């Protein structure tokens, strides 16, 4: 066991250093939650209106699309490692601009620039981690970057309310710099070098990642990589396939439906406006302390989800956690309704806003959050997986922008309880959707998933790709 770990330690080290950039992404995503209330206060260093704050919180969902599409091409031309290193530069620029910002326009431009780093790393890093890891290590190494991202969010929640905006920004600037100084010494993906016909460099990377290999072991590793490359080249589909082939079209609609319902549960809006929600609740519990507790619990939930998600089938896990999310959101809505309509909530119920958010975050982190990532990888056939995931990512970005922009508008204009109860209804709809339509994907092949989809939504495929030729049989 010790010898096995010794041979794999470079894979762990590479994964940790690569995932450090996700700590920076976590600080970037968590920044609005603690800082918008400061910027909208009377003594704000850069006064913002509620509408300007909602634009600042949501603009990154639109602008990051530019980097996502560009990175999808760049990782195959420049390499995974170089793209990840370049992704650190926008984060440095973002934090330096925040540190010295003196206007709303400068903050908005900084937010857009930082999103380019986010788009780059969420595309490049998962690909890189999957390609450097042994098969049985992939799940563990992928989980590292989710955990480090939540660590970044927890960091900014801990220091944001108590230090100046400039000081917080300068502290956070150090994270992408530390990432670049450590990750630059790590090996590139051997898979990338082989696609570029640079076998000698691929061999060097393999030996760094897996230790000294015997000639037989090296030949075996290279054959596996070449086999993967051939299969991906042979199974590459056209963009029209996902529309014209009924099984792919139905899969796409099924995935988009789940994405929209999962996001409509309110997670992205609630994460963006955490401190704002606690402040608006009127609870005597300190809003900043509540945000820190919530972020720490969410970190624990993310760690727990990596242990839980592969032990249960996707459908029952989703239905159970969406149900708990609905209950927590309904309680939040009831609290805000009493506070808004009757003007006061007894202090004995001050625990409700924090408890409701904790319950929601734990449930969402264990079920809907990881399951959406898994479904994106498991539903789509290999011939159209890249196209399907790209469309799904675009939907996530555009709908995420809408939700973050509208949450504060609806909450300020109509009442926060409208938002919470709207999210509650969508969680209930998600339970029904998963029960009635979604197939079970755990430990199943694409053919088995497609067969279950047929039984649930009805109809036979007019064109199902043959597994050997990847073409429609005549």
Looking at the chain, the whole-number percentage of residues with pLDDT higher than 70 is 88
Q: What is the pTM of this model?
A: 0.80
With left for phi above 0 and alpha for psi between -120 and 50, is residue 459 left, alpha or beta? left
Inter-residue contact 56 to 85 (CB < 8 Å): no
For residues 367 and 317, the answer to whether their CB atoms sit within 8 Å is: yes
- On the question of pLDDT at 449 being above 80, the answer is no
Q: Is 311 helix (H, G, I), strand (E, B) or coil?
A: coil
All domains of the chain in start order, with CATH = 1-186 (1.20.1250.20), 241-469 (1.20.1250.20)
- Maximum distance among all Cα pairs of the chain, rounded to whole angstroms: 77
Q: Rounded distance, CA 15 to CA 212, Å?
A: 19
Rounded to the nearest 10°, the torsion over CA 96, 100, 104, 108 is -10
**C-alpha angle with apex 308: 269 to 144, nearest 5 degrees?**
70
pLDDT at 455: 66
In 3D, which of 151, 201, 134 has the Cα closest to residue 24? 151
pLDDT per residue as tens digits for the range 93-147: 999 999 999 999 999 999 999 999 998 888 888 888 878 877 667 667 777 887 8
**pLDDT over 90 for what percent of the chain?**
29
Q: Residue 24 has what pLDDT?
A: 94
Looking at residue 469, what is its pLDDT? 43
Check: CB of residue 151 under 8 Å from CB of residue 300: no
- Does 203 score more than 60 pLDDT? yes
Q: So what's the pLDDT on residue 176?
A: 96
Rounded to whole angstroms, the Cα distance separating 215 from 58 reads 53
Mean pLDDT across the stretch 352-370? 88
Q: Mean pLDDT: which of 15-19, 213-217, 276-280 is highest?
A: 15-19
User: What is the pLDDT, as a whole number, of residue 439?
Assistant: 82
Q: Is residue 463 predicted with pLDDT exceeding 60? A: no
Best-predicted range by mean pLDDT (167-171, 204-208, 362-366): 167-171
394-447 tens-digit pLDDT: 888 889 889 888 887 888 788 888 999 999 999 999 999 999 888 887 777 666
DSSP-derived secondary structure for 163-195 = S-HHHHHHHHHHHHHHHHHHHTTSPPPHHHHHH
Does 215 have pLDDT greater than 50? yes
- In terms of phi and psi (left: phi > 0; alpha: psi -120 to 50; beta: otherwise), the region of 285 is beta
Query: What average pLDDT does the chain have?
Result: 83
* Nearest alpha-carbon partner for 244 in 473, 392, 462: 462
* pLDDT > 60? residue 471: no
In this predicted structure, the answer to whether residue 224 has a pLDDT above a threshold of 60 is yes
- Condensed to tens digits (0 to 9), the pLDDT of residues 312-336 reads 788 898 999 999 999 999 999 998 8
Q: What is the pLDDT of residue 261?
A: 93
């Amino acid at each position: 066991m010790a010898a096995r770990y010794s041979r794999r330690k470079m894979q762990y080290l590479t994964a940790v250093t690569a995932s450090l950039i996700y700590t920076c992404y976590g600080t970037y995503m968590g920044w609005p939650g603690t800082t918008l209330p400061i910027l909208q206060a009377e003594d704000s260093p850069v006064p913002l209106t509620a509408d300007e704050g909602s634009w600042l919180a949501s603009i990154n969902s639109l602008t990051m699309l530019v980097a996502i599409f560009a990175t999808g091409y760049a990782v195959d031309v420049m390499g995974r490692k170089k793209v990840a290193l370049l992704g650190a530069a926008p984060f440095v620029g973002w934090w330096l601009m925040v540190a010295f910002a003196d206007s709303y326009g400068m903050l908005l431009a900084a937010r857009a620039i930082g999103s380019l780093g986010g788009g780059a790393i969420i595309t490049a890093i998962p690909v890189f981690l999957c390609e450097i890891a042994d098969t049985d290590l992939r799940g563990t190494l992928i989980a590292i970057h989710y955990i480090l991202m939540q660590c970044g969010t927890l960091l900014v929640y801990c220091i944001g309310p108590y230090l100046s905006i400039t000081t917080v920004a300068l502290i956070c600037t150090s994270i992408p710099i530390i990432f670049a100084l450590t990750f630059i010494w790590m090996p590139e993906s051997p898979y990338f070098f082989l696609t570029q016909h640079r076998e000698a460099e691929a061999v060097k990377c393999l030996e760094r990642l897996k230790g000294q290999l015997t000639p037989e072991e090296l030949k075996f590793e290279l054959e596996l990589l070449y086999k993967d490359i051939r299969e991906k080249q042979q199974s590459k589909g056209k963009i029209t396939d996902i529309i014209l082939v009924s099984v792919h079209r139905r899969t796409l609609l099924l995935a988009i439906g789940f994405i929209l319902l999962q996001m409509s549960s309110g997670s992205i809006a609630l994460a963006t406006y955490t401190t704002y929600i606690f402040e608006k609740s009127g609870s005597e519990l300190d809003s900043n302390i509540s945000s820190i507790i919530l972020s720490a619990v969410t970190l624990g939930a993310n760690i727990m989800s990596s242990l839980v998600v592969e032990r249960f089938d996707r459908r029952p896990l989703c239905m159970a956690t969406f149900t708990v999310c609905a209950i927590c959101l309904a309680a939040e809505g009831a609290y805000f309704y009493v506070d808004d309509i009757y003007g006061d909530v007894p202090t004995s119920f001050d625990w409700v806003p924090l408890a409701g958010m904790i319950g929601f975050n734990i449930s969402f982190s264990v079920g809907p959050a990881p399951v959406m990532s898994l479904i994106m990888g498991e539903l789509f056939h290999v011939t159209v997986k890249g196209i399907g995931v790209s469309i799904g990512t675009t939907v996530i970005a555009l709908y995420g922008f809408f939700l973050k922009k509208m949450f504060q508008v609806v909450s300020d204009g109509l009442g926060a309880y409208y938002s919470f109860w709207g999210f509650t209804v969508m969680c209930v709809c998600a339970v029904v959707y998963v029960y009635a339509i979604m197939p079970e994907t755990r430990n199943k092949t694409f053919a088995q998933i497609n067969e279950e989809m047929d039984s649930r939504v009805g109809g036979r495929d007019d064109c199902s790709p043959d597994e050997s030729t990847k073409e429609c049989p005549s």
